[in-house]
Chain A
Amino acid sequence: MAMVEVAQLAKKYDGGFEALKGVDLSIAEGEILALLGPNGAGKTTLISIICGLVTPTGGQVRVGGHDILADYRSTRRLIGLVPQEINLEPFEKVLNTVRFSRGLFGLKRDDALIEDVLRRLSLWDKRDTPIRALSGGMKRRVLIAKALAHEPKVLFLDEPTAGVDVELRRDMWEIVAGLKAQGTTIILTTHYIEEAEAIADRIGVINRGRILLVEDKHSLMTRMGRKELRVLLDSPLETLPAALEGRGLELLDDGRLLVHSYDSTAERSGIARLMADLAAEGIAVRDVATRQSSLEEIFVSMVHNEEDEA
């Protein structure tokens, strides 16, 4: 069953800027979807509409089968939101602010659950610390704790690791993995392709208010990914032999490295023929390696293609 169903969602701001132009998106229960897109693509607007911070100008969103406008109480109870900015009251203590979040969602005080959430986020020792005395990373954890205080089924993380150091980013990924293991549906927006690659089940690419693609991470990488065969030669070549010309081969590193790009999903990769031709030309090979293009390259080329078309 789809946990989040977005249909023809549109948002035009008062100034006339169209942040979303008919977005369709379906997110299954228990999956992690990463929304990738450049600044101003519409990621935060999309999340903000689903969570109730921004009013849509068209389309429909259902969460857990309920409409976000007509039945906002039901949908908001299901949703936890971790905003991009560190929005916390500096003078409040960690435990109080997390308890407040639970109460705000209409739930009975549950000290055991709050303790569990704080322990999982390594915040229990800081429970009586005023928020202003915490480090940036700890503050981000408090935001997550607040979002988890009402046991949401769907968690939105808006740029959860923006400006966070590498170690903390990995911690954050572990936290997300732990939540997924408990069955929470997670939607995160990110600039970091590495992040999407590391933790998402599916990737959605959004640009200029439109979803360009939503696809399983692995199939996306296989489908879109160009692969490279990198052949390290025994002795450098000055030019490519005539027999090897016209195949898009590149000679790099002063003639020591031969690079052959190919489509990993094509019927023929051309590798066998290349190796045979190298042997026939008497060119000795020291080493070979293959390299798959990363999501980042896929993403950049996709956004550029779209901009070229626009």
Chain B
Amino acid sequence: MNLRGVWAIYRYEMSRFFRTLMQSFLSPVISTSLYFVVFGAAIGSRIDEVEGVSYGAFIVPGLVMLSVITQAISNASFGIYFPKFIGTIYELLSAPVNFLEIVLGYVGAAATKALFIGAVILATATLFVDLHIAHPLAMVVFLLLTCISFSLLGFIIGIWAGNFEQLQLVPLLVVTPLIFLGGSFYSISMLPPIWQTITLFNPVVYLISGFRWAFFGMADVPIGLSLLAIAAFTGLCLAVIWWIFRTGWRLRS
């Protein structure tokens, strides 16, 4: 195992993040504050409680997930797409590193950044609402798994993308709608029965439900199912990346 190689990639990726630290820090703080102003104060004042939790607090897990998932995807996809775009990928392909080491470096860095953003949003949220986390350990595990699995998905998107438009395509057209419709801002039980059934096909539902369970001890789907879903998703992403490096798809001609 070329651990120094992994560390070199990780550090290089993180240094890009630190170069724009203020941007990385400020944008989630501002966007979270806006969500709280719009959803928490303006709309939330008309909704009393959702299953015993104030609406402002209820949306916190969904908000964290929304940002963490989009950040994980965009960081990881950009991280691997950029070297492809400017041609520096040659160095990675000619270095004594295997697919696992490359993934560890890039996905590790993207997941770290997403985790940082998640922590910033949680901290910002405490300024607006009273937050008591029922299962802190489970919350951390869910957050970590989400950062890692969606960074893996972002990595796949970055390798697949042939231009900057494609890089934005999947997050905009698929991931963001799935997050919004996955119960970020409402409970599935608020939907008519037919929509409840349809929603269960949305994988993000299981993530947000599990994450919300860690906060408030209540969930739309059983917690075991949530864990299974995120584990299966991580496994699927890893299998796809393994196949990409084995065949050299979009990397080696």
What is the interface of chain A, defined by CB distance below 8 A to chain B? 13-14, 51-55, 72-74, 76-77, 79, 81, 83, 85, 87-91, 96, 100-108, 146
Q: Which residues of B2-19 are within 8 A (CB) of A?
A: 2-5, 7-9, 11-12, 15-16, 19
Would you call A77 and B96 a contact (CB within 8 A)?
Answer: yes
Q: Are A81 and B90 in contact (CB under 8 A)?
A: yes
Smallest beta-carbon distance A232→chain B, Å: 53
Q: B4–A108 contact, CB under 8 A?
A: yes
Interface centre among A52, A54, A83, A102 (most CB of B within 10 A): A52
Tell me if A53 and B96 are in contact (CB < 8 A).
Answer: no
C-alpha gap A271/B253 in the complex (Å): 55
Other than the known A55-B252, A73-B96, A102-B8, what 10 A-B pairs have Cβ atoms closer than 8 Å? Answer: A51-B93, A52-B93, A55-B253, A76-B95, A87-B87, A87-B90, A89-B86, A96-B15, A100-B8, A103-B7
Instruction: Give the docked Cα–Cα distance between A72 and B93 (Å).
Output: 11
Question: Could you write out 8 A-B pairs with CB less than 8 Å apart?
Answer: A53-B94, A54-B253, A79-B94, A83-B87, A89-B82, A89-B86, A101-B91, A146-B91
Which B residue sits closest to A156, measured CB to CB?
A: B94
How many Å lie between the Cα of A203 and that of B5 in the bound state?
36
Q: How far is the CA of A215 from the CA of B90 in the complex (A)?
A: 30
Contacting pair B88 A87 (CB below 8 A): yes
CB-based contact B88/A89 at 8 Å: yes
The answer to whether A52 and B94 touch (CB under 8 A), given A13-B253, A105-B5, is yes
| Minimal beta-carbon separation of A151 from chain B (angstroms) | 13
Task: Give the residues in chain B near A146, CB-CB below 8 Å.
Answer: 91
CB contacts (< 8 Å) of B11 on chain A: these are 100, 103
A106 touches B86 (CB 8 A): no
Q: How many Å from the CB of A70 to the closest CB on chain B? A: 13
Nearest CB on B from A114, distance (A)? 13
A181 CB → nearest B CB, Å: 25
Q: In the bound complex, do residue B96 and residue A105 qualify as a contact, i.e. CB atoms below 8 Å apart?
A: yes
Q: Report how far A146 CA is from B90 CA in the complex, Å.
A: 12
Judge whether A51 and B253 touch: CB under 8 Å. Answer: no
Number of interface residues of B (CB under 8 A): 28
A189 to B173, CA, bound (A): 45
Whether B19 contacts A91 by the Cβ 8 Å rule is yes
B residues less than 8 Å from A81 (CB atoms): 90-91, 94
Q: Provide the residues of chain B in CB contact with A14, threshold 8 Å.
A: 253
Contact A104 B88 (CB under 8 A): no
Whether, in the assembled complex, B217 has its beta carbon less than 8 Å from a beta carbon of chain A, the answer is: no
Report the minimal beta-carbon distance from A4 to chain B, rounded to whole angstroms: 14
A100-B8, A106-B4 known; A53-B87 Cβ under 8 A? no
Docked CA distance A61–B179 (Å): 49
How far apart sit A14 and B253, CA to CA, in the bound complex (Å)?
8
- What residues of B have a CB within 8 angstroms of the CB of A74 in the complex? 96
Q: Is the CB of A104 within 8 A of B95?
A: yes
Are A53's CB and B90's CB within 8 A?
Answer: yes
Chain B 66-90 against A: per-residue CB contact (8 Å), 1 yes, 0 no? 0000000000000000110011101
Residues of A contacting B2 in the complex (Cβ-Cβ under 8 angstroms) = 73, 106
> B177 at the A/B interface (Cβ < 8 Å)?
no
Can you name the residue of chain A whose Cβ is closest to the Cβ of B4?
A106
Select the residue from A52, A106, A107 with max chain B CB neighbours within 10 A.
A106
Q: Which residue of B lies closest to A73 (CB)?
A: B96
Most chain A beta carbons < 10 A, residue from B7, B83, B96: B96
A87 CA / B88 CA spacing, docked (Å): 5
Residue of B nearest to A75 (CB): B96
- A13-B253, A54-B252, A54-B253 known; A105-B12 Cβ under 8 A: no
Chain B residue nearest in CB terms to A14: B253
> Contacts A53-B94, A100-B8, A106-B2: A87 and B86 contacting too (C-beta < 8 A)?
yes
A208 to B91, CA, bound (A): 27
A residues in contact with B9, CB < 8 Å: 104
Contact A72 B96 (CB under 8 A): yes
Given contacts A89-B86, A106-B4, contact A100 B12 (CB under 8 A): yes
Shortest CB-to-CB span from A269 to chain B, Å, is: 49
Is B41 in contact with chain A by the CB < 8 A criterion? no
Residues of A within 8 A of B82 (CB): 89
Query: Which residues of the other chain, B, contact A107 by a CB distance below 8 angstroms?
Result: 4
